[in-house]
Structure 1
Amino acid sequence: MATFQRDGFFSRALSRISLRIYLVTWNVNGKAPPDEMDNLLQLHCSPLPDIYAIGLQEVSGYDWEKAFTNTLFHIDFVRVKSRKMQGIHIFLFIQRSLLPYVSNVESEVTRTGFGGFWGNKGGTTVRLDFKGVNIVVVNCHLAAHREEVMSRIEHVDTIIDSQKFKDADSDNILDHDYIFWMGDMNFRLEELSRSHTLELIHRKDYATLLKYDQLSLVMEEKLIFEDFQEGQINFPPTYKFDNGTDDYDTSEKRRVPAYTDRILYFYHDTKYGPLKLNADVASYRDHSCYKSSDHRPVSAVIAFSVPSRSIHGPVTFDLQLKRRPKDDDNKFFYTIRKDFVTSSDDWVGLYKAHFPHFDSYITYQWVSHVKCLTNVDRNASVTFRASQTYKLDNDAYVVCYMTRKGSLCGISDEFWLGKSLPTYIESPSIAQPHLVIDHDQPLKGCRATADAAVLLTSLST
């Protein structure tokens, strides 16, 4: 759970605000993404959510990643993490204005297919810290068939037990302040015949259907997802349809319709000063207009509370100039919070101000620090050479401090790179200890190769 309760870092009184996360789960059955996603992502609604978390199953290739990224980029969302394990793919997008409050983004995967050797079943997970609370989102695809209830329970337990994160206070899924769990969970309806099920669907008697729902039954018995919650289901079963139709399975198997596609959530009943963790479902629905798969997508909008104060990531940039010469070297100063452990594989990337994801950097510099053990915040700087920037467009840019695994630790304000040459303002005296960035030292292994590639790219553009 959030660390500020223990170490006093955020011990002052906290008021709260409410953020909204939009979650989507869809088993796409190997199909291509649709031409439009307005209904799926509710892009016509106002206000838009703060976070989009999307979990897909049975995905082929990366067309879906491109489609979601392009769609959400145009409404100023940034993809902060994407993780794929065979056909199980999770994406997390956040409003650009909220990036300064994001840190410690990690992802994990767990294989549960064929005794843990195959990733056709299992879970992909993304976790992050946001304004002092920690959030985890799990996308899963569990064992199929009505009789495999115990296998599904075992799959969930395996995902929970096997996934470990670096944050000592939330290294397990269940340690997080907020947990959002979605996916094709494959739970079926017990005992009901196909004809009786279709009759209840026709009457829109969803409450009776849910009395036979395996997931609801095992949760009531506390065999799985203890203390998790789910929004009220007021829509028909989302599986199994004949592709391209509204007809439930008419093949020889004639499967009984079921609520396989679900979104659950959990939060700790914890209070940090006046901030009490809380989450409420604002919407829980299917999207029946998407008929390409044998599943219908399901979405939920969940509002949850976070501190209102501006709690930033562990690295803060001190932008000395808002207009900079692109044909000269540019130095950027930043402060590293004392509790943040740096690595020689950390790097600072230069991005267009409106970039779509963290892989879209223009160039970068490694941040090789001389190690300095201290109990105070540390100051450092990084320099981008003119050879890296002189051919860039006159435009707005930002720099981001990133870890080796692509986790954002800090982002600067926007600045302008152009041909105009403002008078350079040196940084004020920097308190000790100061971390020395030596960009002329020999680089080893893959880092030397990577730097050479970046230099060649910048010279050829």
Structure 2
Amino acid sequence: MYVIGLQEKNCGIISLLNDTAFEDTWSSFFMDVLSPLSFIKGNKGGVHICMKLYGYYVSIINCHLPPHMTNNDQRLEHFDRILEMQNFKGLDIPNILDHDLILWFGDMNFRIEDFGLHFVREAIKNQCYSDLWEKDQLSMAKKCDPLLREFQEGPLLFPPTYKFDKNSNNYDTSEKKRKPAWTDRILWRLKRKPKDDPHISRLLAPHFSLSQKSYISHMMYSISDHKPVTGTFDLELKPLVSVPLITLTPEGLWTLENDMLISYTLTSDFLSSPWDWIGLYKVGLRDINDYVSYIWVGDNQVFCSDRLNQVYINISDITETEEQFLLCYYSNILRSVVGISKPFQIQPRAFMVADTFKDQLQN
């Protein structure tokens, strides 16, 4: 899974004039949705995505907190406020603090206090980053803020990522000469575990765990006054949902000659729709629209029992290939793929002609 978070679009004079005359479609789309909810456009805040992964709740927050050395209290206030606002009304989703994992990242704008510009730059030059950690505002806040303390972060073993002259690796040489800082951060929080008997806890294997494999900056990119930061994680879990909502099976030997039969079963709690569809894809698909053929399950059903359903799909227009295929069931209600078959092959026409001729000779 790749998660990419961006902060700040170009706010130069040309960009501002363009925005005044022509609002970009991205902003226009969001404001059509958010304006009725009393939101207005601002240049700081957070974006939250929540997903249910094999029965676990995973939240991802990308944020841009207030800047400047003296606004640390305001940053912490925004941090708490963003968390408090993450309630999904009417969707039966628990409070974000009850989610199994929160990944929080972005331009948090925390600065390095007390030390002067010369000391900070010398420490960076000599890679003595540990001398700066104790005065990093985020690190200090984690020691006293109960909620922030629950978030973990990997060691800052890379140079501060702010502020650089654009198109260079030189820290700010403008008149302001802003002090370098680790403004771009990646944090995570695992759900608090109940205080069970420690003896029992040792016997039970963890069902959900996250470990960070890397936490680095990328100095080669210079189009911004920040250097991008990436974190790589291993997420291990024991699925709480052991049975997929839909199980798909291609029946018999598939050829390019005829309509082919698909069997699929539904779990008892799955709510189907006449607008659900099954797509045939080549293995390695990148998008849900990459199908080579599809059928509406409501219009093409040939058999239906308590759980088992069967439909035909036409594949005669598919180009012959040695690639493998798979079937995906798309739920219109859930707006997502809820079932994927195992990969299989479709036999080419030439193979079937030769095989039929062989059978005739034997007869």
| Distance (Å, rounded) in 2 between the aligned partners of 1:367 and 1:143 | 50
Distance 1:235 1:136 in 2: 26
Rounded Cα–Cα distance in structure 2 between residues aligned with 1:352 and 1:303: 28
Cross-structure match for 2:4: 54
Is 1:298 aligned to 2:226, yes or no?
A: no
CA distance in 2, matches of 1:286, 1:208: 19
- Deviation digits for residues 11-61 of structure 1, max 9, x if unmatched? xxxxxxxxxxxxxxxxxxxxxxxxxxxxxxxxxxxxxxxx4333333468x
Question: What count of residue pairs does the alignment treat as equivalent?
Answer: 314
Is the CA contact 1:186–1:260 (under 8 Å) kept in the aligned structure 2?
A: yes
What is the SS of the residue equivalent to 2:6?
Answer: strand
CA RMSD, aligned part only? 3.6
CA contact (8 A) 2:64 2:106 kept: yes
How do 1:110-125 residues align onto structure 2 when only pairs under 5 Å count?
116-118=39-41, 120-125=43-48
For residues 348 and 308 of structure 1, what CA distance do their matches in structure 2 show? 25
Do 2:279 and 2:292's aligned partners in 1 also have CA atoms closer than 8 Å?
Answer: yes
Aligned residue in 2 for 1:245:
168
Deviation of 1:344 after TM superposition, in Å, equals: 4.6
Which one has the bigger helix percentage? Answer: 2
Counterpart residue identity of residue 399, structure 1: L
1:276/1:195 Cα in 2 relative to 1: closer, same or farther (>3 Å)? same
Aligned AA (2:118):
S
Identity %: 34
Q: CA deviation at 1:259?
A: 0.7
The structural deviation recorded for 1:248 is 0.6
The corresponding residue for 2:279 is 349
* Compared CA separation, residues 360 and 292, structure 1 to 2 (3 A): same
- 1:196 alignment counterpart: 119
Query: Greater strand percent: which structure?
Result: 1
**Deviation (angstroms), 1:256:** 1.5
> Residue 360 of structure 2 aligns with which residue?
none
Partner of 1:142: 65
Structure 2: stretches of 5+ with no match in the other structure: 11-24, 28-32, 194-200, 300-304, 353-363
1:201-216 matches, cutoff 5 A: 201-216=124-139
Please say if 1:361 is aligned against 2:315.
no
Once residues 419 and 204 of structure 1 are traced to their aligned partners in structure 2, the CA distance between those partners, rounded to angstroms, is 62
The answer as to whether partners of 2:276 and 2:296 remain within 8 angstroms in 1 is yes
C-alpha change, 1:218 and 1:131, in structure 2 (3 Å) is: same
Most deviating of 227-236 and 130-139: 130-139
Given the alignment of the two structures, is residue 232 of structure 1 paired with residue 150 of structure 2, yes or no? no
Q: Counterpart of 1:148 in 2: which secondary structure?
A: helix
| Partner amino acid, structure 2, of 1:164 | F
CA–CA distance in 2 between the matches of 1:116 and 1:402? 33
Please give the TM-score of this superposition, normalised by the length of structure 1.
Answer: 0.58
1:106 aligned residue? none
What SS does the corresponding residue of 1:280 show, helix, strand or coil?
strand
Distance in 2 between the 1:377 and 1:171 partners?
32
CA pair 215-310 structure 1, distance change in 2 beyond 3 A: same
- Per-residue CA shift, 1:227-281, capped at 9, x if unaligned? 1111111121111111221111112332221111111111124479533433333
Contact 2:280 2:291 in 1 (8 A): yes
- In the alignment, structure 1 residue 398 sits paired with structure 2 residue 326: yes
Aligned partner of 1:68 in structure 2 is none
Give the match for residue 385 of structure 1: 314
Pair 54,382 (structure 1): closer, same or farther in 2 beyond 3 Å: farther
Please report how far the alpha carbon of residue 298 of structure 1 lies from its aligned counterpart in structure 2 after TM superposition: 1.5
| Aligned partner of 1:334 among 264, 275, 292 | 264
* 1:417 alignment partner, one of 338, 346, 349: 346
Note if 1:184 corresponds to 2:107. yes
Q: Where in structure 2 are the equivalents of 1:443-458 lying within 5 Å?
A: none
1:132–1:307 Cα contact (<8 Å) kept: no
Shift, 1:300, TM fit: 2.0
Q: Out of 182, 190, 194, which is 1:259 matched to?
A: 182
Q: CA deviation at 1:117?
A: 1.8
Instruction: Check conservation: 1:126, 1:136, Cα contact below 8 A.
Output: yes
- Whether the 8 Å CA contact 2:112–2:181 is kept in 1: the answer is yes
Offset at residue 412 of structure 1 (A):
0.9
Q: Is the 8 A contact 1:284 1:301 kept in 2?
A: yes
CA contact (8 A) 1:186 1:261 kept: yes
Instruction: Tell me the CA shift for residue 406 of structure 1.
Output: 4.5
Query: Letter of the aligned partner of 1:162 in structure 2?
Result: Q
Match of 1:73 in 2: none
Query: Which whole-Å CA distance do the structure 1 matches of 2:273 and 2:82 have between them?
Result: 28
TM-score, length-scaled by structure 2: 0.72
Amino acid at match of 2:260: N
Code of the residue aligned with 1:390 in structure 2: it is D
Instruction: Specify every segment of 5 or more residues in structure 1 that has no aligned partner in the other structure, as ranges.
Output: 1-50, 61-83, 87-109, 370-375, 423-461
